[in-house]
Amino acid sequence: MLKHTLIHPEITAILARAGHHSKVLIADGNYPASNTLGPNAQLVSLNLAPGIVTCTQVLEVLLTALPVEAANTMGIPADDPYALKGDPPIWAEYRSILSGAGLTIPLQPIPKWDFYDAVASRDHVLTIQTADQRLWANLLLTIGVRQP
């Protein structure tokens, strides 16, 4: 019986095999998840219907189950047709969720094309595809260490 709120068997199994520096992508509904997997990564699709489930819902659950040492968003190129003025609203939600979980890590953007490269790395173990429709909601987590 698990004590944390993560009960999805496939996600739990993948995270149980992951270690320090492993990367987990929480992908929004627009992210090309199936063709950007790293060589060691698995894809779990939780995109039931538009908006169900969201990236923030997944983040809240994952934080009950694993230590996180870094959180990266996809940086927004100024010339991108979907660029926003300032940070996307979901980034403030991420900061609030991370802080509420007792984490003091900053939310660090990685330039868009470098973000794709980070996801394609051998450290990438899991992409959780959501149906979140908010723009720029992709979040790449780096697993930290479990401390006594």
β-bridge partners, 52: 49
Residue 83 has what pLDDT? Answer: 84
β-bridge partners, 45: 129
What is the mean pLDDT of each successive set of 10 residues along the chain, which is 148 residues long? Answer: 86 95 97 93 96 97 96 92 88 98 97 95 97 97 91
Query: Could you tell me the domains of the chain?
Result: 9-143 (3.40.1650.10)
Residue 119 has what pLDDT? Answer: 96
Residue 1 has what pLDDT? Answer: 58
Residue 26 has what pLDDT? Answer: 98
Q: Which residues contact 63 (CB under 8 A, 6 or more apart)?
A: 97, 98, 101, 103
Give one DSSP letter per residue of 62-109, joined into a string.
Answer: HTTTS-EEEEEEEP--TT-TT--SSS-HHHHHHHHHHHHTT----EEE
Tokens found for residue 66: 């694993």
Amino acid at 71: A
Pairwise CA distance, residues 105 & 103, whole Å:
6
